[in-house]
Amino acid sequence: MQRIGVLTSGGDAPGMNTAVRAVVRAAAGRDVITVGFEDGYDGLIHGRHTTLTARDVGAILHQGGTMLRTARCEEMRTESGQKRAVRTLRQEGIEGLVVIGGDGSLRGAHLLAGHEVPTVAIPASIDNDIWGTDMSLGVDTALNTIIEAVDKLRDTASSHQRAFLIETMGRNCGYLALMAGVTCGAELAVAPEAATTVEDIAAAVSAAYERGKYYSFVIVAEGAGLDVHEIADHLRDRGIGFESRITILGHVQRGGRPSAFDRLLASRMGIAAIELLLGGSTDVMTALTASKIRPVPLAEVTARAREVSVEYQHMTELLAR
């Protein structure tokens, strides 16, 4: 291979830039030219690209977001979109592609591999909802962002003796909420993986008040099926002792400088992606399992759902005493 492409797709995640840098420089180390596509699959379909030298990716390793920009591309789901993407690659003489993104992006990578484009994917999504890898890029930074925000909320919550309902991102996956439950010392973490009712929440917060606590946190995953406003109404009607307040952390969870963990993971996965691609592998994702980076077939990744252990909910409750 002499020319390869790289793109970032789906929701941005801290560590994407670090991975782009690793891909470009690992390829340069093997005398391979890298072409960067802008705005994810949209740039691939419509031919917006630029050659990236080792110098072009200088001073981005520590930056959140993605220098290539990203998009959620509906056109890539269609056969005609995929054919146009393949045409761009052929026209530009690009022989292999590295896709950095979340579950929808990995499905796109799998489809391109099906069109005979050698493709390797790197998992990047703060949700940690991708099967086959212990961690995706951005998860650790997002969790640290949540911890920092909740630590600040603790100051005001304890000063006013309030209960805070804190909504975290994650789409249909409760990973961030469940891990935040343990690492932020919440009363309860409410996630799609563990059936929890507003009554359960009221009982937990009320019991905390009875035990003499000065404040209480409940972390609610956005995909848990419970609206934080409705929970707050229920807590007020039920009279749980604390006044309650709501904080929806939102897109702040997607921003910020990648953590040390994300920088290392992105660098390792970027190098591995190039080694795999140049070694003849295709239709695979770089995955972190048992501390090692290994290839896993995209056919499996895209067909299976990641499970998050509800054990973390139990840990949160146990340690909330």
Which residues are catalytically annotated? 127
* # of chain residues touching ligand F6P (CB under 6 A): 10
Report if residue 257 touches ligand F6P, rule: CB under 6 A.
no
Q: Nearest approach, Cβ of 170 to ligand F6P (angstroms)?
A: 5
Quote the tokens at residue 22. Answer: 């690793």
Site string for ligand F6P, 202-241 (x = CB under 6 A): --------------------x-------------------
* Strands of 202-283, DSSP E: 216-221, 243-248
Looking at 39, 127, 140, 193, which residue binds ligand F6P (CB under 6 A)? 127
Site string for ligand F6P, 24-63 (x = CB under 6 A): ----------------------------------------
Q: What are phi and psi of 295, to 5 degrees?
A: -80, 135
CB of residue 125 to ligand F6P, shortest distance in Å: 5
Strands 119-123 vs 96-101: parallel, antiparallel or unpaired: parallel
131 near 278, Cβ under 8 Å?
no
Q: In the complex, what is the shortest distance from the CB of residue 208 to ligand F6P, in angstroms, rounded to a whole number?
A: 28
CB of 12 to ligand F6P, least distance (A): 8
Does position 104 interact with ligand F6P (CB under 6 A)? The reply is: no
Does residue 21 belong to the site contacting ligand F6P (CB under 6 A)? no
Is residue 126 near ligand F6P by the rule CB under 6 A?
A: yes
Question: What are the Cα distances from residue 154, in Å, to 166, 167, 204, 246, 302?
Answer: 11, 15, 18, 13, 39
Element holding 186 (H helix, E strand)? none
Residue 102: exposed, middle, or buried by beta-carbon count in 10 A (0-12, 13-18, 19+)? buried
Smallest separation (angstroms) from ligand F6P to the CB of 306:
13
Q: Does 125 bind ligand F6P (CB under 6 A)?
A: yes
Q: Which is nearer to ligand F6P, 102 or 174 (CB)?
A: 102
In the three-class reduction of DSSP (H, G, I as helix; E, B as strand; rest coil), residue 101 is classed as: strand
What is the CB-side half-sphere exposure of residue 292 using CA atoms within 13 A? Answer: 4
User: Of the two residues 110 and 254, which places its CB atom closer to ligand F6P in the complex?
Assistant: 254
Please, what's the b/e burial string for 140-178 (b: 16 or more CB within 10 A of its CB; e: otherwise)?
bbbbbbbeebbeebbeebeeeebbbbbbbbbbbbbbbbb
Q: How far is the CB of 89 from ligand F6P (least distance, A)?
A: 26
Sign of CA dihedral 7, 11, 12, 15: negative
Residues in 153-172 at the binding interface with ligand F6P, rule: CB under 6 A: 169-171
Question: Does residue number 102 form part of the binding site for ligand F6P (CB under 6 A)?
Answer: yes
Q: Is 100 in the site for ligand F6P (CB under 6 A)?
A: no
Assigned token pair, 203:
């009982």
- What does the binding site for ligand F6P look like in residue numbers (CB under 6 A)? 11, 102, 125-127, 169-171, 222, 254
